[in-house]
Amino acid sequence: GSVIGILGGGQLGRMLALAAARLGLRCHIYEPSETPPAAQVAERCTTAAWEDRAALEAFARGVDVVTYEFENVPTEALDVIEAIRPIRPGRRALAISQDRLTEKTFLQDLGLATAPFSEVGSADQLRTAAETLGLPGILKTRRFGYDGKGQVRLREGDDLAAAWAAMQGTPAILEGFVAFSAEVSVIGARGVDGAVACFDPGENVHEDGILRTTTVPARLAPSLAADAVLLTGRLLNALDYVGVIGVELFVCDGGLVVNEFAPRVHNSGHWTQTGCTICQFEQHVRAVAGWPLGDGTRHSDVVMENLIGNDMDRVPELAASGAALHLYGKAEARAGRKMGHVNRIVGHG
């Protein structure tokens, strides 16, 4: 297809549209909010609600294939679109990853290690879960959580009834706390033809639940680096996936534990814009457009740093530093808001 429809107009959609443009492909964005970052660089942007059936139908007819840059697109909107155009990655990957309970169950069924977890839908269930799994643990909403939002850390002796009350009835899971030595992620890709390619694992540092930096190469024993890539391939094949996926992993004494996966390009893959010939955004565009996957070999060691909130004050200095600066064109720099990122080459791998 030569026109790609992107559901969601945030920075990920913006960078997908920029990568598509380099390949001579056009992008149409569908986004409910006014003036999203992606609209500045895409050929067309539909501003309409996810419930607007007529707008969704017109959008779908105007494109050849539809992808998404955030995973909480309502199911009903996808039903409308899917009747008209293919959605890549497919609905199954999206449905599984939208809910932490189905996601962790799916990963365990695949034979992959996850944090121990238990469904929590009441104060009673939270008490039982805490007894079974032990504390410390993390109470997480099943749906709609990102950047650590919708999570409460629980320690031995904490008031569980109060913790459940604070969730205001939102379906949740309790996860046992994983004692990890590092967090790494793999950005994987699978083409329409079933070919699989993975970027080198990156090492992630979070602050206040938000990704702060990604460093490549990750400090990871060769056997674990291989395992990270192989399990990502297994996940891609099991989902019959088309496009780019982000897989977050905990490095533990006993091996890798899967935290979660995102069925889209991923913040921890932004380093590929500077470290590889083909970045994650182009790789995703290639996959969903039915092109062969590109060469994602890492040619440089990179540190990616997110610019969050008033990190924007550092832009003049960063602009003069020789690092690769990526700004998302967001008007307001609110606290905790991802405004841009900077990629620094720190070596040649």
Binding site membership for ATP: which residues?
A: 100, 140, 145-151, 175-178, 183, 206, 259-260
Q: What angle do CA 172, 247, 266 make, to 5 degrees?
A: 95
Residue 217 in contact with ligand ATP, rule: CB under 6 A: no
Number of residues lying near Mg ion (CB under 5 A): 2
Residues 230-259 that bind ligand ATP (CB under 6 A): 248, 259
Out of 86, 90, 121, 148, point to the residue binding ligand ATP (CB under 6 A).
Answer: 148
> Of the two residues 248 and 305, which places its CB atom closer to Mg ion in the complex?
248
Site for Mg ion in 239-258 (CB under 5 A): 248
User: Closer to ligand ATP at the Cβ: 46 or 204?
Assistant: 204
Residue 178: contacted member of Mg ion, ligand ATP, none (CB under 5 to 8 Å, by partner type) = ligand ATP
What is the closest distance, in whole angstroms, from the C-beta atom of residue 239 to Mg ion in the complex?
17
Indicate the residue among 115 and 229 with the shorter CB distance to ligand ATP: 115
Contact string 97-116 vs ligand ATP (x = CB under 6 A): ------------------x-
Supply the minimum distance, in Å, between the C-beta of residue 151 and Mg ion: 10
Using rule CB under 6 A, residue 209 touches ligand ATP: yes
> Could you identify the residue written with the tokens 């939270």?
126
Instruction: Write a three-state SS string for the chain.
Output: CCEEEEECCCHHHHHHHHHHHHCCCEEEEECCCCCCHHHHCCCEEECCCCCCHHHHHHHHHCCCEEEECCCCCCHHHHHHHHCCCCECCCHHHHHHHCCHHHHHHHHHHCCCCECCEEEECCHHHHHHHHHHHCCCEEEEECCCCCCCCCEEEECCCCCHHHHHHHCCCCCEEEEECCCCCEEEEEEEEECCCCCEEECCCEEEEEECCEEEEEEECCCCCHHHHHHHHHHHHHHHHHCCCCEEEEEEEEEECCEEEEEEEECCCCHHHCCHHHHECCCHHHHHHHHHCCCCCCCCCECCEEEEEEEEHHHHHHHHHHHCCCCEEEECCCCCCCCCCEEEEEEEEEECC
What is the nearest approach in angstroms of ligand ATP to the Cβ of residue 34?
A: 24
**Which CB atom, from 58 or from 178, has the smaller least distance to ligand ATP?**
178
Q: What is the contact mask toward ligand ATP in residues 173 to 192, using x (rule: CB under 6 A)?
A: --x-xx----x---------
Q: Which stretch binds ligand ATP (CB under 6 A): 171-179, 189-197, 286-294, 298-306?
A: 171-179
Q: Does 69 bind ligand ATP (CB under 6 A)?
A: no
Site residues, ligand ATP (CB under 6 A): 115, 138, 145-149, 175, 177-178, 183, 206, 209, 248, 259-260
Give the interface with Mg ion as residue ranges (CB under 5 A): 248, 260
